[in-house]
Structure 1
Amino acid sequence: MTPGFAFSRHALALAAAAFTAVGAQAATTLIYCSEGSPEGFDPARYTAGTTFNASSQPVFNRVVEFETGGTKVVPGLAEKWDISADGLTYTFHLRKGVKFHTTDYFKPTREFNADDVVFTFERMLNKDHAFNKATSPSPSFEYAQDMGLPENIAKIEKVDPQTVRFTLKKVDAAFLANLAMDFASVHSAEYADQLLKANTANDLNVKPVGTGPFVFKRYEKDAQIRYAANEQYWRGKAKIDNLIFAITTDSAVRAQKLKANECQISIYPKPAEVATLKTDPNIKLMSENGLNIGYLSLNVKHKPFDNADVRRAINMAINKKSLVDAVYQGAGQVAVNPIPPTMWSYNKNVKDYEYNPEKAKALLAKAGFPNGFETKLWALPVQRPYNPNGSQTAELVQSDLAKIGIKTQIVKYEWAEYLKRAKAGESDIGMFGWTGDNGDPDNFLATLLSCAAVGGSNYAQWCDKEYDDLVNKAKQTSVLAERTKLYEKAQDVAKREAVWVPIAHSLVYQPMRKNVEGYKMSPFGSVQFYGVSLK
């Protein structure tokens, strides 16, 4: 990663103290206490919210975007678009006058145009693209893969410098919303060409160049990321001049920093910390129902999880109500399906597996494991909106499984390593979660459990033809009632096959100092600082 400068708590304290200096230039510096380090700064290569918050949100734009704080698709780098009557052709009319960032490693010679959009997407669709071959290791672009974009996009055409046309093979009802997601952030083709010529293609992931509201300055792994406001941002310069991500993995330390004004916005307090934060006169606490799911995945490629009765036994063995009460402390509800109940097409008729250790033991015996077995349980190493305490969750699950004879060894990895190993199919029982990225059920049901997502975000490594046919058919119709029926049936299949133990949907809290103005919580769990100011 790009080397940074010396980082210390003292340095952040000095920066924060400067907020009290009337008229001081440092008054436009905002410090955000984030929960973990990004995997990189090329949004197309990743799926984690921690990475998107540090890369796509401050640095990049998409062709279309979600309105701040909402789910409506609005113009982004395209000022308007046309969709053909058959739903297969999308033509985007791009903005003029948009400039890419000028940095100490790139000086653009032209404005944003169609070449940049074509490069951005062709790189994701064509594994033999010259830039991919020059990158080591060659990226997998798992989000695009998980959604089946390479199979469904027939071609991307540059009609003229300000017009791009996408042609699909099949109707995709979620296509426009998909393009508003973080992975679809638009890169500079000119910058990519420069890197290719210099044989430094990997720099695209560590020295990002976008058109977004903030310019990347430097990163010190596990410590901090620094950005400066983009003076030439096409929507107008941000209200804060400098943005600092203070990477702080411990929730209690984040709360202390927020109280001490060492950061002005923090992510995800633990439920036990909420009451204390509410009593602080200098802090305000926003909250909303999260569009999320926390779950355990059971890797069907690893024995004995290839046996459905073993998977059902595990579902019956875990006391989810007790777990949610202990871990979420009133800020979560027991999950039944892979999608939250606030999302359209949620199947309220699906019955969860009852908590019944005795029946679970009987199922294990039927499957050939009367004395249980030994396995590994991966504990979530960072606090996420869908799970406030991975360690505590793991301990409770471990205790419940021990009661039916399943002995688990709890293992942990650093967050980026955790995701890398999980995508490679290494987990047995894995602890994961998801916050929706576009408000569509496809973003959960296909992205996390389809055959196309095996090797990506489908950590259960599960490929079921019946399930896959249902979610694929649902994408190919724009009739909401038909899509709903198909997704409801898919939830029935998912419950029957029991490749997950759905744990909880959480309430999400966002704490900040009272002098922060203009901040809007995102239903997708992202943090957005454009439009935010400090009084």
Structure 2
Amino acid sequence: MKNDSYWGDKPKLDKVVFKTVPEDTTRLAMVETGEAHIAEQLPVTEVDRVKKSSSMTLGRYPAFASDHIGINNSKKPFDDVRVRQAIAHAIDKKTILQGVYNDVGTVAHSSITPSMVGYSPNVKDLPYDLEKSKKLLAEAGYANGFKATIYLNDNKARVSLAEVLQQQLKQINIDLEVKVLEFGAYIEAANKGETELFLSGWGNATGDADYNQYNLFHTKSQGAAGNHAFYSNPEVDKLIDEGRKEKDEEKRKQIYEKAQQIEMDEAAMVPYRFSENLAAVQKGVEGVWISPAGHIEIDDVTLP
């Protein structure tokens, strides 16, 4: 309800009602029929429906979140850096962005997005290069490839991505089995290190690089804290610890740039997409936006 005694600018709305509606298509239908004004956490699979609608507009906003193909560094053959690098070189990220995500987001070259403190455009990705990939596998003793399992939850886009990855990795003779789990079961398997390859993402509540770096890459974060890749590199640990203590903004950026480059060179994981926050908005609704952290901002909203 509106607080008439609020010290700042007076709200334009008398009240706001938040409804939890788990089903994606139901949320959209509520906006389409006028039952709701905004439906957030719009899946990329519904973007075309919103674009074609006469009653909705598509809201697209920069995000702190990124998506990645996880690799369990502690399991054979993925404990060999050459195998991880081979996988990274075999991933065609542009095709994934276009075919799976309807060009929502941008191709990622690190786990830290452009909206975040600590992002650096200087971090280099391992480029798509099938010949390089095959050469690395041969050097690692897997010239004929191997079988592997990729784990994921039942998110529609990730299921589609897994099917694309099956085809892409088949080109370097990796026979990929897709294992789709209920979200809770997927998280439990990832926490315990039971996965081989896996599909995941990482949001960010602070907008600072430490939230990603410490949780995703520090040795102390292996398992439930977020380092499902079970990645461990003493130099990276040291850089992350230094980044936590450094007060100079430019020095912190350099520290995180160095850490990110090591992570990419060692293919600790394969970040493939810098995400966007999406919403379906009833036509005529003005002033709504979603912050990079994913919070819906309605201070300046006006209704038709």
Question: What's the TM-score, normalizing by structure 1?
Answer: 0.51
Q: Which residue of 1 is the match for residue 80 of structure 2?
A: 307
CA contact (8 A) 1:328 1:506 kept: no
Q: Distance in 2 between matches of 1:239 and 1:436?
A: 31
Q: 1:376 aligns with which of 149, 159, 162?
A: 149
Match in the other structure for 1:449: 217
For 1:302-349, what per-residue CA distance to the aligned partner results, in whole angstroms no more than 9, with x for missing partners? 211111011000001111111112122222221111111343433323
Quickly say closer, same or farther: Cα 1:382–1:266, change in 2 above 3 A. farther
2:158 equivalent among 390, 398, 411:
390
Q: Report the counterpart of residue 194 of structure 2 in structure 1.
A: 426
Q: Paired residue for 1:282, among 40, 55, 58?
A: 55
1:71-128 deviation digits (Å, cap 9, x = unpaired): xxxxxxxxxxxxxxxxxxxxxxxxxxxxxxxxxxxxxxxxxxxxxxxxxxxxxxxxxx
1:239 and 1:532 in contact (8 A); partners too: no
Q: Taking structure 1 as reference, are residues 241 and 497 closer, same or farther at Cα in structure 2, changes over 3 Å only?
A: closer
Q: Among 278, 281, 284, which residue is 1:512 paired with? A: 281
1:301 Cα deviation after fit: 1.7
Return the alpha-carbon distance in structure 1 between the equivalents of residues 140 and 78 of structure 2: 10
What is the alpha-carbon distance in structure 2 between the residues aligned to residue 440 and residue 450 of structure 1? 15
Within 2, Cα distance between the matches of 1:396 and 1:254? 28
Q: How far apart are residue 265 of structure 1 and its match?
A: 2.3
Q: Distance in 2 between matches of 1:244 and 1:533?
A: 19
Superposed CA deviations along residues 340-377 of structure 1, whole A, max 9, x for unmatched, are 13434333233221212222122112112122111111
Partner in structure 2 of residue 367 of structure 1: 140
1:343–1:531 distance in 2 versus 1, CA, 3 Å: closer
**Shift of residue 406 of structure 1?**
0.9
Matched, 1:294 2:294: no
One-letter code aligned to 1:450: H
How much does 1:293 deviate? 1.2
| Residue 335 of structure 1: aligned partner | 108
Q: How do 1:10-29 and structure 2 match up within 5 A?
A: none
Q: Aligned partners of 2:45 and 2:226: how far apart in 1?
A: 30
Asked if residue 523 in structure 1 is aligned to residue 298 in structure 2, the reply is: no
Q: Take 1:492 and 1:279, find their aligned partners in 2: how far apart are those partners?
A: 41
- Verify the 8 A CA contact 2:64 2:204 in the aligned structure 1: yes
**Which residue in the other structure is 2:243 paired with?**
474
Q: Which of 482, 502, 511 is 2:271 aligned to? A: 502
Cα deviation, residue 498, structure 1? 0.7
Distance 2:222 2:32 in 1: 43
TM-score (norm 2): 0.87
1:222-254 deviation per Cα after TM superposition (whole angstroms, max 9, x unaligned): xxxxxxx799xx999994375321111xx4454
Query: Helix, strand or coil: the match of 1:446?
Result: helix
Q: Secondary structure at the match of 1:328?
A: coil
Which digits, 9 at most, give the CA deviation of each residue in 1:389-410, with x for residues without a partner? Answer: 1111111111111111111111
Partner residue, 1:246: 21
User: Identity over aligned residues, as a percent?
Assistant: 30
* 1:261/1:412 CA distance change after superposition, 3 Å: farther
Partner deviation per Cα, 1:188-232 (whole Å, 9 max, x = no partner):
xxxxxxxxxxxxxxxxxxxxxxxxxxxxxxxxxxxxxxxxx799x
Matching residue of 1:355: 128
Pairwise CA RMSD of aligned residues? 2.8
Q: Which has the higher contact order (CA 8 A, sep 6+)?
A: 2
Contact 1:240/1:533 (<8 A) preserved: no
Alpha-carbon contact 1:292-1:435 (below 8 Å) kept: yes
CA spacing shift, 1:319–1:518, aligned 2, 3 Å: closer
Decide which of 428, 437, 441 is 2:205's aligned counterpart: 437
Letter in 1 for 2:20: F
In 1, Cα distance between the equivalents of 2:22 and 2:44? 20
Q: Distance in 1 between matches of 2:162 and 2:172?
A: 16
Give unpaired runs (5+ residues) of structure 2.
Answer: none
One-letter code aligned to 1:293: S
- C-alpha deviations, 1:129-151, integer Å up to 9, x for none? xxxxxxxxxxxxxxxxxxxxxxx
Q: Which residue of 1 aligns with 2:182?
A: 414
The verdict on how the C-alpha distance between 1:457 and 1:532 changes in structure 2, with shifts beyond 3 A counting, is: farther
Q: 1:272 to 1:376 in 2, by over 3 A?
A: closer
Return the offset for 1:476.
Answer: 0.3
Query: How many angstroms apart in 2 are the aligned matches of 1:415 and 1:230?
Result: 37
SS of the residue corresponding to residue 87 of structure 2 reads helix
2:256 corresponds to 1:487? yes
Look at both structures and tell me which one has the larger radius of gyration over its CA atoms.
1
- For this pair of structures, how many residues does the alignment match? 299
CA distance in 1 between partners of 2:15 and 2:286 (Å): 11
